[in-house]
Amino acid sequence: MMNKILVIGGGAAGTLAAITAARAGAKVTLWEKNEKIGKKLAITGKGRCNLTNAAPVPEIIQNLPGNGSFLYGAINRFNNEDVMAFFRELGVPLKVERGQRVFPVSDKALDIVNALLNEMKRLKVDIHYKTSATALSVKEGQIEGAYCGDFFAPFEKVIIATGGISYPATGSTGDGYEFAKAVGHTIIPLDPSLVPLVTEEKWVSDAMGLALKNTKVQLWADETKLSEDFGEMLFTHFGVSGPVILSLSKAACAFWQKQPQAKLKLYLNLKPALTAEQLDARIQKDWQKYIRKEFQNSLSELLPKSLIPVIVELSGIDPHKPVHQVTKAERLRLTVLLQKLPLTVTGTRPIAEAIVTAGGVNTKEINPKNMESKLVKGLYFVGEVIDVDGYTGGYNLQAAFSSAWVAATAAAEQ
């Protein structure tokens, strides 16, 4: 006899769960509401798929500040080395980049999606596309199966891998939360996590499209520093985005849960590799070269073109003043601005634009050893539907894969 397992959702967690259970000998069916699997997975990491992080496991847990400790056992049982070995065995060569981020060598997320699909086909997973689960069937605390409209399908085990509510166009529309609530589970309120930030200053739209690669960014609430990070960021028509901003957004969202109307401050250090003295010396060196130029025309080697008018205006220095007439006080004010460029943060973009959803099925109602519901026997939760989330850098996908492997291994046991 083979266990009959239904996996609801064909994203990162769902596909790995289906493969793991099938490899263990279970008869597996997967329901996917879209016309293909892995829609969200295909766009992660700007279409490159940052599928895990090569850091030690304790560091991975630290980078899942949203209840990462709940997955301590799961991540140790199916860790980042296991994830990398899994995809290499499926024929996807991998590479490790800055920040220990792991990507396919091809830089194509579709290679990951296709590898998962091909392995499911090899294992004869019964995949049903354009099939949306509408309800679970539970009798006397035991899962019996699931409904698709009026059609009832009996199953011994059901794995919920429906994702969060970010990027709803990819199919993440919160179905799993409704299933969980209907059978008695508590849903921790849903918030955006890893989401672009909206700023008050109008000049950011003038710099729209500009990406800064080596920038140190700090997030402050009045006199309290909430977080800081270093790396790439992007100016947009509404504010700022990019990996650094997404990481900082988690601290911003946590602060706004307590003080929703508060305005926060971002400080951008455009020259983090230099001390204030070294930056001042660098400016003076440039100005020796451009000694007869106006101030507004003297910053071309120091700043991206679109930021020059912004810095000129914010510095308070007369743009037409020849650089040899700029005072020492004005020059020092410029160095401070370059290393502490302020932005006022008023909120986030909608949760639909978040990379990850914070909140979800309460971890206290899930067994961390096997991801099984403590309320319904044979029902498992994996991936983003659980109240676990982390920073950008491959940590969230690692959480999805680890929880999926543990759940599927348990579900496939006779």
Structure tokens given for 300: 């071309």
> 167-196, pLDDT tens digit by residue?
787 888 899 999 999 999 999 999 888 999
Question: Which residues in 143-179 are b (16+ Cβ under 10 Å) and which e?
Answer: bbbbebeeeebebbbbbbbbbbbbbeebbbbbbbbeb
pLDDT-derived band at 300 (thresholds 50, 70, 90) equals very high
Instruction: Please check whether residue 357 is in contact with residue 173, taking contact to mean a CB–CB distance below 8 angstroms.
Output: no
Helix axes 308-315, 328-339, angle to 10 degrees: 130
CATH class of the domain defined by 4-193+354-412 = alpha beta
Interatomic CA distance for residues 136 and 146, integer angstroms:
4
Average pLDDT over residues 281-299: 94
> 381-400, pLDDT tens digit by residue?
999 999 999 998 999 999 99
Which pLDDT score is estimated for 210? Answer: 96
Average pLDDT over residues 324-335: 96
Best CATH choice for the domain 196-348 from the list 3.40.50.970, 1.10.8.100, 3.40.50.10090, 3.30.950.10:
1.10.8.100
Would the pLDDT of 2 be above 80?
no
Q: Which of 252, 253, 257 is nearest to 221 (CA)?
A: 252
Mean pLDDT of the chain: 95
Which pLDDT score is estimated for 340? Answer: 97
383: left (phi over 0), alpha (psi -120 to 50) or beta: left
Strand segments, DSSP code E, in 244-323 are 264-269
Q: Which residue ranges make up each domain of the chain?
A: 4-193+354-412, 196-348
Interatomic CA distance for residues 144 and 136, integer angstroms:
8
Q: Which of 385, 380, 384 is nearest to 156 (CA)?
A: 380
pLDDT-derived band at 123 (thresholds 50, 70, 90) equals very high
pLDDT-derived band at 45 (thresholds 50, 70, 90) equals confident
Would the pLDDT of 1 be above 60?
no
pLDDT-derived band at 46 (thresholds 50, 70, 90) equals confident
- pLDDT above 90 as % of the chain: 90
Which pLDDT score is estimated for 414? Answer: 64
Would the pLDDT of 51 be above 70?
yes
Which pLDDT score is estimated for 169? Answer: 79
